[in-house]
A and B are shown apart, each in its own frame.
Chain A
Amino acid sequence: MKQLLSNKNSINIMYLPALILFAVFVIYPFTSGIRISFTNWNGFSQSFSYVGWDNFKYLFTDKNMLTSFINTLLYGFGSTILQQMLGLSYALLLNKAFRGRTLARMMIYLPVLIAPVIMGYMYYFFFQYNYGALNDILMLFGLDKLDWLANGNRAVGIVIAVNTIQFCGISMVLYLAGLQGIPTAYYEAANIDGASKFRQFTHVTLPLLMPSIVTSVTINLIGGLKLFDVIKALTNGGPGYASHSISTLIDYTYFKNQTAGYSSAMGILLFIFIVIVSLSLQLYFRKKEVEY
């Protein structure tokens, strides 16, 4: 018994509970999803028939699918990049003590605590054409009202902005933590060497922030690629299909369009795609971390 317990591989049983949960609540339903993707099921009837690869073939001819695919990339990478920039700037600003620092940290983090679906509606109050808060301001200055969400590209931009504003608090906290972990001695040494502030930032701060960057980028990227609630509340995928992400399009085709089989095929494609993106990102970061 004792020998067994000291065997290196015996501790592997510690991840069994996690694996069981995954098997029951993710992998099993996911395989059902794969089965559905080969049918013409409408999402609620007990009768359906198998249609082979039709759904997957249709994926590559569906122009709404293409739009939503591009949007998903924009939501994923766009908001990740913005969140890092904003989060890091906030962290640099709020790292040193001054009056109002604690309050600002709290206010920036507060939106993270709100359910995205509620946040989406709060921002819808802003961007609405009639009664919208932003247009009230435009009218105050005698300008014409603007239908903010009516233009597809602008709608995508607004969704990215709202998602960024809501979740840059996470990046900020992670970067704050990273910054405070950098020993001041490094900067002193850099000062003695006569390095400029900018060089200090690129050669000391950034490399040492790498662990924070990895965590923050991973969390934000996955969140961005899976973005759903905010889009639903702000634009509902519109105008037309212009701001759909794959997630919202899956929801739309499943429940509204009643093509659950096709919707499942889309879900599988999204899954494969996100896995590829984030695993390659992991590999890239692991290399980077080793380099530094």
Chain B
Amino acid sequence: MKKRTLWKTIVALVISIIHILPFYIAITVAFKPKTNLSSRWLLPKVLNLDNFKMAIEKAHVLMAIKNSVIITSIAIACVMLIGAMAAYPLARNRTKLNRFILNLILAVMMVPPLSILVPLVKMMSDINGISTYWGIILVVTTFQLPMSIFLYTNFITTIPNSLDEAATIDGCSRFSIFYRIILPLLKPVTASVVILTGVFIWNDYQFSLYLLQSPSKRVVTLAVSTFFAQSSTNLGAASAAALIAILPIAALFIFLQKYFIRGMVDSAVKG
């Protein structure tokens, strides 16, 4: 048995290495001062922590992580709730109007953010939404909602309609059916929604760049970018900031990994 799976272990190891090579390079860059010009493959002889110090002091990367956590968690909650609510009528009421609306929502998923960026920034500044948590949360929620509605609608379609009908006979209103019967069944697909949309929200750069300008509201992607300017770049500090910023989400992923994959499996069984 052992022998037969050995080749798999080796293949898996090679694949893993290919996928995490860029992280290795980022680590060697982050631990070297700018004046160390050795190959990027080589680890430094002396671990230099200046870049990490700079990432924390100049880019305020810890505060950025806090901002990212606040924005991401609230936005994910909104994406889950509003998405599940919207998906229920769209999956159950297949009228012409609803079909049109579903297509409209899918179309929203495809709007290139750049083509609406400047009008959006203009509007947000008119309603004082620049550099506020609520401003960015509403925008990223809106742009991740289609994905969530898409996944929830697909999933609810697979829940037998007879469940709803039985409940209607028992005198439940359509709303309480959603709340009491459908919502609890959505747990597994919610895992997919959280993973897929959460990652995009956490990693959002474009919207954050234009909507979060105050340094006290900076998120992790912006903190990393503070070391890039047209006439000067500090790759070491940027790498250090990126590595620090990866830690919480990687830890979260490792911690919840089993739960995520099981959730994906459950949703696929039913989906």
A and B touch in the complex (CB under 8 A): yes
A residues bordering B, Cβ < 8 Å?
Answer: 2, 5-6, 8-12, 14-15, 17-19, 21-22, 24-26, 28-30, 32-33, 36, 43, 90, 93-94, 96, 98-119, 121-123, 125-126, 131-133, 136-137, 165, 169-170, 173-174, 176-178, 180-181, 211-212, 214-215, 218-219, 222, 225-226, 228-229, 246-247, 250-251, 254, 260, 263-264, 266-268, 270-271, 274-275, 278-279, 282
How many angstroms between the C-alpha atoms of A101 and B120 in the bound complex?
45
Other contacts beyond A15-B89, A22-B145, A180-B268: 18, CB < 8 A: A5-B174, A8-B93, A11-B174, A11-B175, A14-B85, A15-B86, A15-B90, A15-B101, A17-B82, A18-B105, A101-B8, A108-B19, A115-B220, A118-B242, A119-B22, A125-B22, A125-B26, A176-B261
Judge whether A93 and B8 touch: CB under 8 Å.
Answer: yes
**Shortest CB distance B40–A (Å):** 5
8 Å CB contact of A18 from B13, B83, B154, B178: B83
How large, as a class, is the contact surface on chain B? Answer: 35 or more
Interface status of B119 (Cβ within 8 A of chain A):
yes
B residues bordering A, Cβ < 8 Å?
Answer: 5, 8-9, 11-13, 15-23, 25-26, 29, 37, 39-41, 82-83, 85-86, 88-90, 92-93, 95, 97-98, 101, 103-116, 118-120, 122-123, 138-139, 141-143, 145, 147, 149-151, 154, 168, 173-175, 178, 195-196, 199, 202-206, 220-221, 224-225, 235, 238, 242, 246, 249-250, 253-254, 257, 260-261, 264-265, 267-269, 271
Contacts of B95 in A (CB 8 A): 9
8 Å CB contact of B203 from A115, A131, A264, A278: A115
Judge whether B11 and A93 touch: CB under 8 Å.
Answer: yes
Contacts of B254 in A (CB 8 A): 106
Judge whether B205 and A222 touch: CB under 8 Å.
Answer: no
8 Å CB contact of B110 from A96, A108, A274: A274
Contact (A9, B93) CB under 8 Å given A18-B83, A107-B16: yes
Contacts of A254 in B (CB 8 A): 114, 118
How many angstroms between the C-alpha atoms of A271 and B178 in the bound complex?
34
Contact (A176, B105) CB under 8 Å given A21-B142, A106-B257: no
How many angstroms between the C-alpha atoms of A151 and B40 in the bound complex?
24
Contact (A26, B268) CB under 8 Å given A11-B92, A136-B40: no
Judge whether A278 and B110 touch: CB under 8 Å.
Answer: yes
How many angstroms between the C-alpha atoms of A282 and B97 in the bound complex?
18
**Shortest CB distance A223–B (Å):** 9
**Shortest CB distance B85–A (Å):** 4
Contacts of A214 in B (CB 8 A): 154
Give the residue name and chain of the B residue nearest to A245 (CB).
B112
Contacts of A104 in B (CB 8 A): 12-13, 15-16
Contacts of B238 in A (CB 8 A): 121
Give the residue name and chain of the B residue nearest to A209 (CB).
B268
Judge whether A99 and B139 touch: CB under 8 Å.
Answer: no
Contact (A270, B90) CB under 8 Å given A101-B12, A113-B249: no
Judge whether B261 and A113 touch: CB under 8 Å.
Answer: no
Judge whether B5 and A14 touch: CB under 8 Å.
Answer: no
How many angstroms between the C-alpha atoms of A18 and B88 in the bound complex?
12
Contacts of A5 in B (CB 8 A): 173-175
Judge whether A18 and B205 touch: CB under 8 Å.
Answer: no
Judge whether B86 and A17 touch: CB under 8 Å.
Answer: yes
Pick the most buried of A118, A229, A263, A282: most chain B CB atoms within 10 A of its CB: A118
Contacts of B271 in A (CB 8 A): 211, 215
Judge whether B142 and A25 touch: CB under 8 Å.
Answer: yes
How many angstroms between the C-alpha atoms of A66 and B142 in the bound complex?
31
Contact (A108, B106) CB under 8 Å given A11-B92, A117-B221: no
**Shortest CB distance A217–B (Å):** 12
How many angstroms between the C-alpha atoms of A228 and B261 in the bound complex?
28
Contact (A215, B154) CB under 8 Å given A12-B93, A114-B246: yes
How many angstroms between the C-alpha atoms of A26 and B117 in the bound complex?
10
Contact (A18, B82) CB under 8 Å given A36-B119, A110-B250, A222-B109: yes
Judge whether A250 and B20 touch: CB under 8 Å.
Answer: no
**Shortest CB distance A229–B (Å):** 6
Contact (A18, B149) CB under 8 Å given A99-B9, A174-B268: yes
Contact (A11, B178) CB under 8 Å given A17-B85, A98-B9, A125-B22: yes
Give the residue name and chain of the A residue nearest to B209 (CB).
A117
8 Å CB contact of B114 from A137, A170, A218, A267: A267
8 Å CB contact of A93 from B12, B18, B168, B205: B12
Contact (A28, B40) CB under 8 Å given A15-B86, A98-B9, A177-B264: no
Contacts of A180 in B (CB 8 A): 265, 268-269
Judge whether B19 and A113 touch: CB under 8 Å.
Answer: no
Contacts of B261 in A (CB 8 A): 105, 173, 176-177
Contacts of B25 in A (CB 8 A): 122, 125-126, 133
How many angstroms between the C-alpha atoms of A271 and B151 in the bound complex?
22
Judge whether A229 and B205 touch: CB under 8 Å.
Answer: yes
How many angstroms between the C-alpha atoms of A180 and B220 in the bound complex?
35
Contact (A29, B123) CB under 8 Å given A99-B5, A100-B13, A113-B253: yes
Pick the most buried of B39, B90, B246, B254: most chain A CB atoms within 10 A of its CB: B39
